[in-house]
Each structure stands twice: as structure tokens, then as C-alpha cells.
A and B are shown apart, each in its own frame.
Chain A
């Protein structure tokens, strides 16, 4: 069992977390917290979730020894946790399924969600189709342009995609709109938040549903290598795939956690999404955590080639891990992420999501110079079909 008992009863991870929301939502958050606690204690709910993880999502996803990538990197052994093979092509489905079942249990008929890369939106739309729930997805206009295939997928599975035109027209603004919708329709609607951000209990619920990634990885690595890994590497936007991988290893102190943030066009350019590397504590979207703000406390616009990392905040548990030193956070810029993307395509015949390509790049780089007995697990959080347009443009392929 994991001894990490965060969050505390007020929803805090150390000094991060909490519930900074309009009064209208406070009762809904309490209701969600109680419903979740009941679901956790309900064997039937757990059984239903586990069964669907297996039959619908296709879990467990493999832990794949990337032989060629390891050879090419020339050092430590690289294992890929293949979340890209989960139904809908990313880890996002784990949480969407869990919360979808929870919403149904709570008697909610309408689901709203935000999406950046579209992976969460697709996962929610998919689960809603399967569970017979109405689904509305808020997506920044900029992201709708960048991730067109995912918009089509959402629409095909019956979701209404609402373009968000405020602010930077990306993930941050989509969350603002989703919260406004929730405030207005809170009695009938469940807000199916897609990352470990937002007010308590969201960071906890999303983490718990995503922790299946880490639990499986632990079992799988122990089964083959009879030992725990030395490093876990995952990209961090809001931070759900990374917390999902890290959390079950929290008390295994010899396992080092490395979170990879988006360096965009470089930290010095100011155009990046490296919240933990460059930000400071503040309150955004209902939670106290690191965030990127200007000197007056206004939230900054961010940039990343990977829309799923293009967010000025980060989950409160990551802020807690950073301050306590449990995890190390590094940055990989757009160009390096593209290199990581190419590298995985070339060596393993796997097209990664641009988000995951950040983690791939860093893992390959750090593997070099380490002995082969060193085990690195990289979370390949999603597949890259959605990114072909961005990548072909960036690499100057096709016309």
C-alpha cells in the first residue's frame, strides 16, 4: 500500500491544493467528495471499473523494452509504458472512465469537459457515448485548429465541441469556460476535469484513477526484472500521466521521479509552459499551486508545440513533490521534443504524442552515460496521430 496519505482533509498537499472556487460550486465539490468516497468503498463500483479497464480500455497496457531506443541512446535500459495503446490512444481514458462511472452513480445526466490536445475530450466523448451521457467539450479555438482530427473524433462519438475564443484560446481558457458552465448548470452536470488540477477533490480523484499506470508498471517491472526501476520519466502539463506513474512509487525512495515540462521556444524567450521551473505559488482554477504569472498576478500566456502541455498551472501534488525534492522537474523545448518524436519513430516504429515526445527526448538523453543495468520507465502517455499536421509543418515535410 502507498503510504502517501496526501491530500489532507482540506484537500492540501503540504501547502498546495485547496478549494478556491465561487460559493456556487462549494456544495457540488462536497457532494463529489462524498460520492467518490462511497464509490471507493463499494466493491461493485471497483469491479465495474476494473472490468471496463480490461475489456473497454484494453488494460493492462504493456511495459515494452525499447531495444532499439536503448541501443541508440547507448546506456540505461529504457522501458516504455504503452498508454498510447489504451483505447482512444492516450492515458486520458483511465480518468474519463472512472469519473464517467462516478457521474452516472451520482445521477448526473450531463457531462462537461475541457480539452487542450483533444485527448481528454476524445476520451470523455467516448465514455459518454458508451454510458449514454450528454457531452459538451470546451476547446480553445487555437487548439481546434491544431488538433483537428480529435475534433472530428469527438463529434463522431456524439459530443458537442464548443470553441473558446477568450484569452489565449487554449487549455487555460477552455477550463475557464467549463467552470462557468458548471457554475450555471451545477445541479445536473458533472464537470469531468481531465488533469490533476482544479479544486479538491479533483487532483485526488484524477490521480487515483490514473494511478493504475504506476501500479501496473510496478507489477510488470517486478515480474521481469525482479526489481524496482531507478527512474520514472513523464511529461508534465497539468500533470496527470506523470502523477499516475509516480504516485504508486511514492514510498519507494530509491525510485527517482523526473517530470519533463515544456520549454517551448526556450526559457529565455518567455514562450514556454515550464510552470514548475519558472513559476511561483499562486491560485488558478481553484487550486493553490505553482503557476506562471506576471508581476501583477495576471496569468501569463504560455506556449508549447504540444497542446496538452500548453498550460500555465500544474497539479498541486507536483508542487508539493518539487518543494520536498521527491521529484525533479526538467524542461525540454519544442525542437528537442521534435527530435524525441523522430527518434521514437525511427528506432521503434512508434509515433508518440508530442507531449510524450518531451519525456522520450529526456529519457534518451539521460540514458546515455548510464549503465545498462539502470532501468528507466518512460510513460508513453499517448500516440501521435493527432500531431501529424503540426509535425509535418515543423519538419518541413509534405506540402
Chain B
């Protein structure tokens, strides 16, 4: 069992936090990660900034850009991860576009990830059809390669992802890019149901989860929620991290009241 598998216990609702590594600056990320863990996040997703983040909306684009402007490289992200790993035991996942990984070298990258204490990878522009090489390497390195599904995924694609994803499946809540939204997508319920019929893997919902209410609604259907853009906004608004801490704490409480619902 990977460290990520351990998080998903029957009835438990996982809270996964995304932050861009190196945003707002190199030193801040470790502090933010520790705060997130203390407030009840189960998994922390660190985004490696990329020049052309085409699955991301305005908030994460801006955070990536700002991190890049400060010279944050994949190498720097690995150092940040290693630093966080010394402080907390929370599973860490890298969210990265494929090109920086390809440039680093797939084997070398996975080796460095393991060394830095990373437990899994999410690569939004790498569908399973293109991911075979990285899948083989990550399996050997005991890293979980987490694939995504979207409401537009066909039954056939759900089968492909269900048989290749490890750790959990990342359900993209809506047809769109990352970013805060006013409401959850009305099709989320039927989407989660379609996937649930085909897999026993934990299902975590992300994209557009921006409020306690959203998190509650999503957790009633799935096994975990992923929050990103809203956290970036809160970091931007309040560098002392008081806002983000109180937001994450309230999400944690809401999820704990959802225990024993859903299907996992």
C-alpha cells in the first residue's frame, strides 16, 4: 500500500489541497504546507509551475507565472518538497505538465521525486494512452500516477483510467479549466455514479470547489475533495495565512460531518 492508499478508509472524506510550489515565494510554500497539514489536509498537491498551463484558469496561471518569474524550476520544487517532507508526514503529490518531466528525463525525475519524499504524480496533459512509459517507471519507483476523468469521458475511457490510475482517480467536476465557480456542476452526481459503477478506487473531485458548501456536496458523492484556486486566492489575500487556515479548518469540519456517506 502506498502512503496515499492509507488515507482512504471506509467512510472517511479526504481533503486534498493544491498550492503552486514557489508561490508567492520559495520560502512560503513549506510554511503553507505545514499549515495545511495542521488544519486537517490529508494530501498536499504541489504544482510545478509551467509556462503554458493550458488546463488552468486565471488564478493558477497567475500563480505559476509569478513563481516562474522568481526562478522556480522543477529542481527548486524538488527541494521544496524535500524540505516539507522533513517537517510533515502528509502524502505529497506533484501536479506537473508533461514537458518539464520529459525535459528532466522520466527516470531521473521519478528518482528525484522518491528522494524528495513525493508519493504521487498528476500530469493533466498526459492521458493513459500516452502515459505507458511514465506508468512503468512510476510503478517501479512506487510512485502513484493518478489519472483524471471528466464528465465528457466515455464508458470506454472510464474503463481505461480505472485500470491504470493508482492511489485514486481525479474527477474533474466540470468541463472546464481550474478556477473558482459559484456552483457545483449539476452533472457531478451522475458523473460520479458512472465512474463508481466501474471501479473500487477512491474518487476525489476537483476543479471549481471553492466553498464549504461545495466541499460538503462533493464529499457526499465522492471520497475526497481537491481545492486549489480558492487556496491560492486566500494566500494572495492574506500572507499571514490566517484566512487559509480558518477556511481549511472549516472544510475539514464539514467533511467530518459527511462521514459514512458516499460509496467507498
Contact, CB under 8 Å: B74 / A184: no
User: What are the residues of chain A within 8 A of B149 when measuring CB–CB?
Assistant: 23
Q: Is A298's CB under 8 angstroms from B50's CB?
A: yes
Asked if A22 lies at the interface with its beta carbon under 8 angstroms from chain B, I say yes
Tell me if A283 and B175 are in contact (CB < 8 A): no
Rounded to whole Å, the gap between the CB of B32 and the closest CB of chain A is 22
Interface-central residue, A19, A24, A28, A284, by most chain B CB under 10 Å: A24
Interface pair B54/A176, CB less than 8 Å apart: yes
Query: Beyond A283-B125, A297-B99, is A24–B152 a contact (Cβ under 8 Å)?
Result: yes
Residues of chain A within 8 A (CB-CB) of B161 are: 23
Q: Which residues of B contact A284 (CB under 8 A)?
A: 52, 99
B182 within 8 A of A: no
Contact mask for chain A residues 12-35; partner B; CB cutoff 8 A; 1 contact, 0 none: 000000111111111110100000
Evaluate contact between B172 and A298: CB separation under 8 angstroms.
no
With A184-B175, A296-B75 already in contact, the answer to whether A27 and B152 are too (CB < 8 A) is yes
Given A19-B127, A20-B125, A27-B157, verify A297-B101 contact (CB < 8 Å): yes
Q: Does any Cβ of B come within 8 Å of A179's Cβ? A: yes
CB pair B98 A283 closer than 8 Å: yes
Q: Which residue of B lies closest to A282 (CB)?
A: B99
Task: State the CA gap A183–B208 with chains docked (Å).
Answer: 14
In the assembled complex, the Cα of A187 lies from the Cα of B50 at a distance in Å of 27
**Inter-subunit contact B157/A285 (CB<8 Å):** no
Which residues from A are CB-within-8-Å of B100?
Answer: 296-298
* B54 pairs with A179, CB closer than 8 A: yes
A-B contacts, CB under 8 A, total: 114
Is B176's beta carbon under 8 Å from chain A?
yes
Contact in complex: A183, B175 (CB < 8 Å):
yes
Q: Does A186 contact B (CB under 8 A)?
A: yes
Q: Does A293 have its Cβ within 8 Å of any Cβ on chain B?
A: yes
Any chain B CB within 8 A of the CB of A391?
Answer: no
Asked whether, in the complex, the Cβ of B57 is within 8 Å of the Cβ of A282, the reply is: no
Chain A residue at minimal CB-CB distance from B62: A166
Contacts of A107 in B (CB 8 A): none
What mask results when residues 29 to 72 of chain B are scored 1 for a CB within 8 Å of chain A, else 0?
A: 00000000000000000000011111101000100010010000
Provide the main secondary structure of the chain A interface.
mixed
Q: With a CB–CB cut-off of 8 A, which chain A residues contact B73?
A: 296
In the assembled complex, the CB of A92 is this many whole angstroms from the nearest CB of chain B, namely 23
Interface centre among A27, A28, A167, A173 (most CB of B within 10 A): A27
Given A20-B126, A298-B68, answer yes or no on A26-B153 (Cβ-Cβ < 8 Å).
yes
| A282-B103 CB under 8 A given contacts A183-B177, A184-B176 | yes
How many residues of B are counted as interface, with CB atoms below 8 angstroms from the partner's CB atoms?
41
Q: Which residue of A lies closest to B160 (CB)?
A: A26
Provide the residues of chain A in CB contact with B99, threshold 8 Å. 282-284, 291, 293, 297, 299
Size range of the chain A interface in the assembly: 35 or more
CA distance A137 to B151 in the complex (A): 26
Q: By the criterion CB–CB under 8 Å, are A22 and B51 in contact? A: no
Nearest Cβ in chain B — how far from A11, in angstroms?
9
A293 to B154, CA, bound (A): 34
CB proximity of A297 to chain B, nearest CB, Å: 3
B154: chain A residues at CB < 8 Å are 27, 30
Does the CB pair B157–A26 fall under 8 Å? yes
Across-interface contacts of A179 in B (CB, < 8 A): 54
Known: A284-B99, A297-B100, A297-B104. A24 touches B150 (CB 8 A): yes
B141-163 interface bits toward A, Cβ cutoff 8 Å, 1 = contact, 0 = none = 00000011111111001000100
Cross-interface CB contact of A298 among B51, B124, B127, B157, cutoff 8 Å: B51
Distance (whole angstroms) from the CB of A279 to the closest CB of chain B: 12
A179 to B175, CA, bound (A): 12
Q: Does A10 contact B (CB under 8 A)?
A: yes
A296/B55 in contact, CB under 8 A: no
Q: Assuming the A-B contacts A184-B177, A187-B152, A283-B125, are A23 and B157 also in contact, with contact meaning beta carbons closer than 8 angstroms in the complex?
A: yes
Supposing A27-B157, A180-B57, A282-B99 touch, asked if A296 and B74 sit within 8 A by C-beta, the answer is: yes
Give residues in A with beta carbon < 8 Å to B: 10, 18-28, 30, 166-167, 172-173, 176, 179-180, 183-187, 281-286, 291, 293, 295-299
Enumerate chain B interface residues (CB-CB to A < 8 A).
Answer: 50-55, 57, 61, 65, 68, 73-75, 97-104, 124-127, 129-130, 147-154, 157, 161, 172, 175-177
A-B contacts, 6 of them at CB < 8 A, read A20-B130, A26-B127, A26-B129, A283-B98, A285-B54, A297-B102
**In the complex, the 3 A-B pairs of residues with the closest C-beta atoms, listed nearest first:** A297-B103, A297-B100, A24-B150
Q: What would 13 more interface pairs be, CB under 8 Å, given A187-B175, A297-B74, A298-B51?
A: A10-B129, A20-B126, A22-B125, A22-B150, A23-B147, A23-B153, A173-B52, A180-B177, A184-B177, A283-B102, A284-B99, A291-B99, A297-B102
